Every structure is written in C-alpha cells, then in structure tokens.
Amino acid sequence: MSSEQELLTKWRSLPQDKQEEVLDFVEFLGLKNSANKVPLGERLQQIRTKIVASGKHLLDEDEIEKELASRRGGLQSREE
C-alpha cells in the first residue's frame, strides 16, 4: 500500500471533526512550505470567516477582556 493510500484509509476511519483537523493541519503545512505565503491579515480574515461559517460564537470586546483577565489569574488591565 502506498503512503497516499495508507493516509487516505486512516483518514476515512476518523470521525468528521478529526478529518477536519487533519485537513487544517495539511493546509497549515502547505502554507508553511509555500514560497508565496498569505499575508497575516488575509490569513486572519480567512480564519475568522471559517469560524463564523462554523456557527461558533465570536467574543465581543468585553468577553475578550474577561478571557484575558481569567488567563492572567483574575488581573484586570488598567485603562488610562
């Protein structure tokens, strides 16, 4: 069995969410090795579009502040 066939067989045995993770990883590897890398801003927009299409909730500014505070052990940033 070729590497390609083996990969495809293993990929087909995975649940849908894991198949998507594999595709994301392969896309990441392709971008990493590409001579024509997508600018960061464009890549972030692609990621946002993908998240919105998935139906996941995007954090608003207050939710981002709360998330940051929780990751900092409850410390709030000071606004001046």
| Alpha helices per DSSP H over 1-80 | 3-12, 16-33, 40-54, 61-71
**pLDDT of 32-79, one tens digit each?**
776 566 688 888 888 889 999 999 888 899 999 998 888 888 766 565
Distance, CA of 78 to CA of 80 (rounded, Å): 6
CA proximity to 23, closest of 8, 34, 36: 8
Identify the band that residue 80 occupies on the pLDDT scale cut at 50, 70 and 90: very low
CA proximity to 26, closest of 41, 48, 11, 42: 11
Write down the domain spans for the chain. 3-71
Distance, CA of 14 to CA of 4 (rounded, Å): 16
pTM of the model: 0.41
What is the amino acid identity at position 32? K
